[in-house]
Amino acid sequence: MIFCLLLSCLLEVVLGLHRIALPVLLSVVFYFACLLPWHKGVLLYFLAAALLDGWFARTLPSTGLSLIGILYFADLWQRFGDRNSLFSLLVPGALTGLISSVFLLLNILVSGGRIGVMTLFFSSLYCLVAIVLLPSVWWLLEKGARFLALRRQEVFSPALRPEEYSAREEAVDE
């Protein structure tokens, strides 16, 4: 988990240096918050968010504030959402992009900037890219977890006992 968080921070910084803004860290945090109880990694999540906000020198810690909404929504999605298909992850992707872009727009306002038509256009593009980004990050992390034989979403269900979990995991791997 730590490696994935640091790698997502690095990817977001490298893309930010090329003027490409993507909520990679928030997508990775959403995945781990749905996989594990959110309080197990909350310190690492906020540390990674603080690293990003510090790197981009944001007046308002927009990544950290977005993280609060993402963790709340991930908890709801873990209980009531469908995590079995990538198509169903378009809604959390849209919400991730929307939450993050709202806080980025607030950051512009707090730092004394103006929100014009182009800013709103790029904010809407940010939301559209987040719709596609979350399912792709989810798929990539699932494939990595399968390769490393780690706990993953496609076989985990809170209702299963450990022996049922291992039998289902073997059936999915075959």
Residues 6+ apart with CB under 8 A from 149: none
Give the C-alpha distances (Å, rounded to integers) separating 4 from 71, 75, 92.
17, 20, 19
Rounded-to-integer distance, Cα 31 and Cα 157, Å = 15
For residues 8-33, average pLDDT = 88
| CB 128, CB 97: distance < 8 Å | yes
- pLDDT digits 0-9 by tens, 107-130: 889 888 888 899 899 889 989 999
Residue 39 is predicted with a pLDDT of 77
- To the nearest 10 degrees (0 to 180), the angle between helices 62-80 and 24-35 is 40
Phi, psi values for residue 138, rounded to 5°:
-60, -50
> Does the pLDDT at position 160 exceed 50?
no
Residue 84 is predicted with a pLDDT of 67
Q: What is the mean pLDDT of the chain?
A: 81
Q: How many domains does the chain have?
A: 1
User: Count of CB atoms within 10 A of residue 57's CB?
Assistant: 7
* 77-78-79 Cα angle (round to 5): 90
- pLDDT over 70 for what percent of the chain? 85
Least confident of 89-103, 104-118, 160-174: 160-174
> Does the pLDDT at position 166 exceed 60?
no
User: Count of CB atoms within 10 A of residue 165's CB?
Assistant: 15
> Does the pLDDT at position 134 exceed 80?
yes
| Domain that residue 76 falls in | 2-173
Rounded-to-integer distance, Cα 143 and Cα 139, Å = 6
- pLDDT digits 0-9 by tens, 79-92: 887 766 777 888 88
> Does the pLDDT at position 150 exceed 80?
no
